[in-house]
Amino acid sequence: MELIDQQVINDNKEIYAKIQGELFAAQSEILIATAWFTDEDLFNIVLSKLAEGVHIEIIIADNQENEKLDFALLTAKGALVYKIKNSGYGSMNQKFCVIDKRIALHGSYNWSVNAKKNNQESIISTNHQETISSLIDNFDSLKTKIIKQSNEPEPLVREKAKVIAPENALKAGAEFEKVLDSMIAAEVGSFDRKLLREQGFERSKLNSGDHQVLYKSFDTVYSVFINDIDIIDDKKKRLQTKIDEHRVKTCDALNRTCELEIDHCEQNSALNKSNFESEQTRAEAEVAVIARQIEEITKDKIPFIEQENNELNNEIKKVELEYFTPKIKWYELIPTIIFNAALLCYLFVFYSSAAYILLFSVGDAEEAEAQNMPIAVPQIFNAHAISKAGEKGWVAVTFICLFVFIPLSFAMADRFIKAKWVNLTIFWTGIIFLDGAVAYKVTQSIYEVNYARGNVNIPWRWDMAFTDTNFYLVFVFGALGLLMFKFALSKMMQLFEDRDPDVLTQKNRLLIKQLLAEVKTNLEKIMVLKEEMSLLDTNIIQLKAKIKSTLQELTSLPLKLSHELQKKRGQLISDLETIDKIASIYMVHIQSDNLPISVDALKDRINIFLEGWNDFLYQEYAIPKATLKTAQAAEIAISWQQEKLQTNKVDKRVKFHTGE
């Protein structure tokens, strides 16, 4: 998947720095399309990239502003510069650059001084391959329009005509020398290109395109060329002035380029330093955070869990000791049994008496009254309840005895129901309703006996119970007895349960199992924490190694920058010396009438003559035949060059490039 690196830049200085940096980073190709190109600094960078052998093509608008820079110099050094007119295809308003087919810069920014200093501009920098391909297609389309606009011959004919292609020099001295050769050729070897092409056309026409006569034709071209080399004093002076001007201009350009490169190196060094320092600070902050995390694990989390496990282990040991049946606590058991027995007797007597009173006391009073016998004084407790119930039959005795079990069942509810809130509800409900009902009926029976005896003369009403002390005495004595019996019975049962080995063992085993599970969970937590701590230690080691590497990079940055700057300045001094030396040599040649002129000038004349020759061929013959004859003419040109254009067979002033 393509990783897209794209950004929008709105600040003019940042835009310029981005363009400058990407131009310096170019390795193989630079394509530039801009309406205005007047920025000399960017021009010099392009010039320096030509010296490094980078292929450069430029499309600019054909206007007066773009005459401020010497684009002919770029062309002479091998760049392809196209100018598009504002008629026919509209105004040129493109503004983009594609570098090494890897990055594109496009937006509103022209390569002009005004754009750099005054305008509000923005560009997009992107490595999106579809965008880059689209811009390259657009560039090629613009070139095609320019070629059609200038009415130049078809590319096939042009290629066949240009048999002798001059080489591009890569070093500063070779470039300077090549430009001087072009200047000399332009000054002393100027000729009417249209006339020479027409001569080629006419010669081809006179000989019906017979390539055999080309040898003599080339000899004639050569003779005219040698005659044109001879110059007069005025031309010498103009050439000397131009050479000196170009020397100064080239030296200035080299100085500016060197300054730009030095500034770029310093900016890169400062940026790298800032990045390294930021990276170091971030890594140190991460180390501090991780160190705190490790400290928290080692000093807080793990000790806390270990302490919890120690407490759990102690609890397990304590529970294991309780597997043994404890001794009888006689000092608790005997009083508890006696107390329960006493309370049980009390409750039996109390409730049997209450049962007799509420069942038979009124009847006994009525029976005594009917027999004119004295009525017994009513009491809330009848000591003869059971004996008198016996007089009434065994059923009465049985009922009175069974009645006692009703309140006792409420007091023992927790023995049958384990839910605490349920048995408490049953207990208190039983006390309130049962004991309240018993107290109410006992109070009513006593009142009615008193009424029968004449002690009171007001018949019984239900609300009288709540103003009668007998009601509260019965209720309190009964409720307190039941409550005390409940607590005493629970205590006694607990003493027996604590000595039950089965219940105790099951309880302890379940508890130990739960405690061991908690211990295991805590041990797993400790293992996770230790693994986390191990990973954190590894991260710290990596970060410290990164910090060490960053410090080394920071330490070496000044040395690298110094070495790079020394290399740039040394190269500048060497280039300036070479330029001065070459300029001096050319000055001497001019003064001594030994003016060197590049063999490329001769090749150019031969090519122009061939273009005229081929023009007739394509006019006269069908394309296949014309193509064949063009190829034959090209072979003759190559053969003539091999035979004639040797250093020992041409004028000594004709200068051959190294490697020609």
Q: Which CATH number covers residue 65? A: 3.30.870.10
pLDDT at site 659 = 43
User: How far, in Å, CA of 162 to CA of 634, rounded?
Assistant: 9
Domain boundary among 439, 466, 498: 498
Strand (E) positions, 90-152? 95-99, 103-107, 123-126
pLDDT at site 29 = 92
Cβ within 8 Å of residue 616, ≥6 positions away: 200, 201, 204, 205, 209
pLDDT at site 58 = 93
The model carries a pTM of: 0.40
Q: Tell me the one-letter amino acid at 421.
A: W
pLDDT at site 316 = 81
β-partners of residue 56 are 30
User: Is 647 among the domain residues?
Assistant: no
β-partners of residue 435 are none
User: How far, in Å, CA of 478 to CA of 487, rounded?
Assistant: 15
pLDDT at site 56 = 92
C-beta separation of 243 from 586 below 8 A: yes
C-beta separation of 495 from 333 below 8 A: yes
User: Is 391 among the domain residues?
Assistant: yes
C-beta separation of 126 from 4 below 8 A: yes
User: Is 560 among the domain residues?
Assistant: no
User: Is 477 among the domain residues?
Assistant: yes
> At which residue do the structure tokens 């890897």 appear?
102
C-beta separation of 606 from 637 below 8 A: yes
pLDDT at site 31 = 94
- Kindly list the distances between the CA atom of residue 371 and the CA atoms of 378, 448, 449, 521, in Å, as whole numbers in the listed order: 18, 18, 15, 86
pLDDT at site 625 = 78
Instruction: Assign 24 to helix, strand or coil.
Output: helix
Domain boundary among 432, 463, 498: 498
User: Is 539 among the domain residues?
Assistant: no
Instruction: Assign 315 to helix, strand or coil.
Output: helix
pLDDT at site 660 = 39
Rg (CA), the chain: 61
User: Is 514 among the domain residues?
Assistant: no
- Kindly list the distances between the CA atom of residue 150 and the CA atoms of 144, 145, 296, in Å, as whole numbers in the listed order: 10, 9, 79
pLDDT at site 187 = 63
pLDDT at site 156 = 32
Task: Work out how many domains the chain is built from and give that number.
Answer: 2
User: How far, in Å, CA of 16 to CA of 19, rounded?
Assistant: 5
Task: Give the structural domain span for 85.
Answer: 1-152
DSSP 102: T
pLDDT at site 471 = 79
- CB-CB neighbours of 34 under 10 Å: 24
pLDDT at site 30 = 93
Instruction: Label residue 125 left, alpha or beta by phi (over 0 means left) and psi (-120 to 50 means alpha).
Output: beta
Domain boundary among 474, 498, 522: 498
Q: Euclidean distance between the first and final Cα of the chain, in Å?
A: 47
pLDDT at site 514 = 87
C-beta separation of 565 from 262 below 8 A: yes
Low-confidence stretches of the chain (pLDDT beneath 70): 1-3, 86-91, 149-171, 182-183, 185-191, 228-235, 321-328, 358, 361-383, 410, 413-424, 426-427, 430, 495-506, 592-598, 645-660
User: Is 648 among the domain residues?
Assistant: no
User: Is 228 among the domain residues?
Assistant: no
| Segment 425-434 long-range contacts (CB within 8 Å, at least 24 positions apart) | 427/486, 430/482, 431/407, 431/478, 431/479, 431/482, 431/483, 434/406, 434/407, 434/410
